[in-house]
């Protein structure tokens, strides 16, 4: 029997919702007429789903939603925002706060029951193991948005999981992960160049913390001469990170060198990022052939980096002879996000790009 927590300072409405959910839905329902008390109940005994009013004394429903998303115990709990404010801006605010659904008051109880059933019927994987292991994003052609996707994927996973995510920028020629996050890339992995086999303390000492809770192993600002990190150092460092984080996201170099191949070996899944342009498709065909032994790890992500009509996914699938896992639309807000050094997943979670990234997360990229 699914357990539902309802938080609303309208005592009469609380009673009505409780009766409907228990009698017609067969759910076990806990109620709270106080926002702070409801939050405490959710964290002490995480429900299978939460229904939260927005306008309450002392703490708003949006604040409760944000706190639930920030705690690992409730980071993936389905949340319905329930409010008397029914303007489009209110729906956007609810989704930006991390809600899964938004229902304006008054709402027919049939609609409420339908939303509850829909959210509770989602695959368990979405709530318990959205992504695990190491996810590498790769393209042997620059300019297709690999770093942007890696940053937003890692930031989204951090929100969903409430932490426990590390983003690694493996680029030897001044990568842009730290730049997009607005953090200074010092220290960075260049400090491992003189260490044959790094230990846990060596790797931990290089991690940078972003305000979102994301941990980052940055690329050096000054390009590294020669081959960069030795294979043993890469394998050891990634092994240490895999033990410390539930998800490690790797922004891979655009070349199949020792560093990239070491990360590929460690990866649970490899997202091959492409655009609809002919050079990108040609490069993808070659990459798929070169990485044929690791074919089971590869997933195609179609990224639209310029404005215009959506890319012809079906034609590309026929050309590559592989399905496309997901399509990321062009998002004009990305230019401002880059200028402000604040990824869209943090500043505008409702943006088209972030919603597409969330869809990739929901598909688990396995």
pLDDT of residue 274: 97
- Residues 265/266/267/273 CA torsion (nearest 10 deg): -50
Q: For residue 274, what are the β-bridge partners?
A: 302
Domain span at residue 57 reads: 3-122
**58 lies in the same domain as 194:** no
**51 lies in the same domain as 140:** no
- Say if residue 303 is exposed, middle or buried (CB neighbours under 10 Å; 0-12, 13-18, 19+): buried
H or E element at residue 247: strand 247-251
Q: Would you tell me how many other CB atoms lie within 10 Å of the CB of residue 340?
A: 10
Show which of 122, 151, 178 is a domain's final residue.
122
**69 lies in the same domain as 200:** no
CB 234 within 8 A of CB 259: yes
Cis peptide before 106 (omega within 30 of 0): yes
The low-confidence residues of the chain, meaning pLDDT below 50, are: 124-131, 365-366
Show which of 91, 122, 153 is a domain's final residue.
122
**165 lies in the same domain as 213:** yes
**112 lies in the same domain as 154:** no
**145 lies in the same domain as 108:** no
**71 lies in the same domain as 155:** no
pLDDT of residue 132: 56
**319 lies in the same domain as 193:** yes
Helical axes 313-320 vs 278-290, angle rounded to 10°: 40
**118 lies in the same domain as 216:** no
**99 lies in the same domain as 170:** no
Show which of 81, 104, 122 is a domain's final residue.
122
| Cα 246 from Cα 208, distance rounded (Å) | 17
Pairing assessment for the beta strands 165-169 and 133-138 based on DSSP bridges: unpaired
Tell me, what CATH number does 66's domain have?
A: 3.40.50.2300
CB 282 within 8 A of CB 290: no
What one-character-per-residue DSSP string does 248-277 give? EEEE--SS-SHHHHHHHHH-SEEEEEE-SS
Tell me, what CATH number does 148's domain have?
A: 3.40.50.300
Q: How many domains does the chain have?
A: 2
**69 lies in the same domain as 10:** yes
**302 lies in the same domain as 216:** yes
pLDDT of residue 125: 36
């Amino acid at each position: 029997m699914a357990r539902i927590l309802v938080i609303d300072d309208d005592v009469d409405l609380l009673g009505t919702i409780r009766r409907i959910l228990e009698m017609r839905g067969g759910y076990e329902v806990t109620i709270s007429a106080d926002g702070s008390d409801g939050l405490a109940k959710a964290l002490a005994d995480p429900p299978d789903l939460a229904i939260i009013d927005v306008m309450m004394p002392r703490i708003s429903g949006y604040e409760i939603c944000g706190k639930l998303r920030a705690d690992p115990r409730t980071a993936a709990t389905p949340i319905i925002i329930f409010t008397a404010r029914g303007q489009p801006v209110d729906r956007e605010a609810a989704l930006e706060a991390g809600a899964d659904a938004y229902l304006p008051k008054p709402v027919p109880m049939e609609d409420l029951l339908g939303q509850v059933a829909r959210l509770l019927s989602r695959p368990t994987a979405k709530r318990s193991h959205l992504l695990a292991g190491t996810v590498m994003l790769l393209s042997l052609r620059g300019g297709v948005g690999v770093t942007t996707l890696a940053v937003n994927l890692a930031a989204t996973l951090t929100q969903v999981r409430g932490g426990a995510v590390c983003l690694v920028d493996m680029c030897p020629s001044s990568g842009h992960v730290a730049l997009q996050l607005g953090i200074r890339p010092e220290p960075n992995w260049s400090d491992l160049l003189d260490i044959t086999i790094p230990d846990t303390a060596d790797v931990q000492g290089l991690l940078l913390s972003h305000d979102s809770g994301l941990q980052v192993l940055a690329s050096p600002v000054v390009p590294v001469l020669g081959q960069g990190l030795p294979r043993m150092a890469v394998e050891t460092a990634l092994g240490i990170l895999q033990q410390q984080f539930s998800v490690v996201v790797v922004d891979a170099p655009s070349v199949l060198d020792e560093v990239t191949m070491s990360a590929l070996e460690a990866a649970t899944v490899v997202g091959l990022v492409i655009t609809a342009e002919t050079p990108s498709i040609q490069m993808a065909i070659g990459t798929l052939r070169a990485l044929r032994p690791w074919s089971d790890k590869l997933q195609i992500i179609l990224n639209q980096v310029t404005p215009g009509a959506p890319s012809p996914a079906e034609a590309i699938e026929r050309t590559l002879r592989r399905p496309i896992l997901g399509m990321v639309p062009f998002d004009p807000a990305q230019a401002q996000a880059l200028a402000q050094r604040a990824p869209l997943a943090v500043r505008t979670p409702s943006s088209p790009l972030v919603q597409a990234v969330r869809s990739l997360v929901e598909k688990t990229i396995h």
